[in-house]
Amino acid sequence: MNEVQAILKNFKGVIDSTLREGFQFSRANFSLADQKGIFDRLSRIGVDYIEMGNPAKPEIRDMVSSTIGPRERRTVRVLCHIRNHASDVEAAIACGVDGVNILCTADSERLAGMGLTLDTYLDRLEENVRSAHSRGLEVRVGVEDFFGQPETLSREIHLLAESAGVERIAVADTLGRVMSWDVRDKIRKLRHIISTDIEVHFHNDLGHAVGNAMAAIQSGANWVSTSLLGIGERTGITPLSSLLVNLYVLDPGIAERYDLSLLTEAEGFVARLCGIDMPPHLITNPVNGFAHKAGIHLNALLKFGPQKYEPLPPGVIGNRRNLVIKSPISGRTTEAEIEEFNRRFGG
């Protein structure tokens, strides 16, 4: 099985965390109306799950309940990201969500700081999983800083979670510094010892989040945590648009259940809410995503068509092409040639 076949076989979906991880972005101060706007856009794009914050805090609980609305009217499943605490499980149940993402630690210093042994912590986890399942919630158990912690401790948490029947286990590159070869190695090892679905959450401090997500899927992971624009703590996480475009380029069929044409507007909406320019490196950037300026590029586009320098048609993701002329590096391309090109291929 080659890499593309492995990705097509393993990938199961997207768990978008704009309303949880994205809220941790320093410029994100979403009002209730903002959150509803984001929730609606993610629902229409068709993400498989939307993850929200910990309702243990009353203000977060009210935000979650007000944003998601009645379960029977939702088109997407909603999860709350909680700690390994019974009170957090009860708070999530009160919100009317579909499941909980229980965040665990394998850090001995953190456990000692909480006055817990690993055995006590695992007993608590088992009880919380049982409690959530008994109330009709699905459960994901995740380990913070999976790639930086001793594998033996993480393994105990994952094996217990699997024996408890959780729907997914999750691993996070919390520091954003893991390399793709380490991702492949550790995800393959994890897949050998568990059969439960694996979700991955990659931070982008060194710019590796998208590549690491693809490497993880190829190696046996099934679900990817994303956010619009990739916003989140520090430099953020895997951008939803970048992940879906990568999947589309590999095989349009794998991304057909998502409405990619809504991505550019959705990410532009979040950029406006955060008061930032669209990141120039994102393909959904309306100015730069499909901009062509160099004379050699413009000449080839005019002669042979956009496929020479574009990985996919801009309309697929709701974007537009931007041909830049009259610059020192743009050659002799004329406005008349641009008009003819746009007539043939669209703007």
Report how far residue 22's alpha carbon sits from residue 50's, in angstroms, rounded to the nearest whole number.
Answer: 12
pLDDT band at 72 (very low <50, low <70, confident <90, very high): confident
- List, in order, residues 6 or more apart from 139 with CB less than 8 Å away: 99, 100, 102, 129, 132, 133, 161, 164, 166, 167
Tens-place pLDDT, residues 215-226 = 999 999 999 999
pLDDT at 36 over 80: yes
Residue 273 CA to residue 41 CA, distance in Å, equals 14
Boundaries of CATH 4.10.430 in the chain? 291-345
Lowest mean pLDDT among 195-209, 216-230, 319-333: 319-333
Say yes or no: domain 3-274 is CATH 3.40.718.10: no
Looking at the chain, the whole-number percentage of residues with pLDDT higher than 90 is 83
Residue 112 has pLDDT above 90, yes or no: no
> pLDDT class for 245, splitting at 50, 70, 90?
very high
- Taking the mean position of all CA atoms in its chain, how far away is CA 333? 40
Phi, psi (deg, nearest 5) at residue 55: -80, 10
Which residues pair with residue 171 across a beta bridge?
143, 200
pLDDT digits (tens, 9 = 90+) for 73-95: 899 999 999 999 999 999 999 99
Assigned token pair, 335: 């406005």
AA letter at 210: V
- List all residues 6 or more positions away from 192 whose beta carbon is below 8 Å from its beta carbon: none
- What's the per-residue H, E or C state across the chain? CCHHHHHHHHCCEEEECCCCCHHHCCCCCCCHHHHHHHHHHHHHHCCCEEEECCCCCHHHHHHHHHHHCCHHHCCCEEEEEEECCHHHHHHHHHHCCCEEEEEECCCHHHHHHCCCCHHHHHHHHHHHHHHHHHCCCEEEEEECCHHHCCHHHHHHHHHHHHHCCCCEEEEEECCCCCCHHHHHHHHHHHHHHCCCEEEEEEECCCCCHHHHHHHHHHHCCCEEEEEHHHCCCCCCECEHHHHHHHHHHHCHHHHCCCCHHHHHHHHHHHHHHHCCCCCCCCCCCCCCCCEECCHHHHHHHHHHCHHHCCCCCHHHHCCCCEECCCCCCCCCCCHHHHHHHHHHHCC
pLDDT of residue 81: 98
Q: Whole-model pTM?
A: 0.94
Q: What is the pLDDT of residue 347?
A: 62
| Residue 297 a catalytic site member | yes
Whole-number pLDDT of residue 346: 76
Confidence at 158, pLDDT banded by 50, 70, 90:
very high
What is the predicted pLDDT for the residue at 151? 81
Q: Indicate where the chain has its CATH 3.20.20.70 domain(s).
A: 3-274
Catalytic residue among 158, 201, 292, 297: 297
Cβ atoms of residues 162 and 190 within 8 Å = no
Rounded distance between C-alpha atoms, residue 269 and residue 42, angstroms: 12
Q: What is the pLDDT of residues 279-317, one digit of tens each?
A: 999 999 999 999 999 989 999 988 999 999 999 999 999
Query: What CATH class has 291-345?
Result: few secondary structures
Q: What is the mean pLDDT of the chain?
A: 95
In this model, does residue 122 exceed pLDDT 90?
A: yes
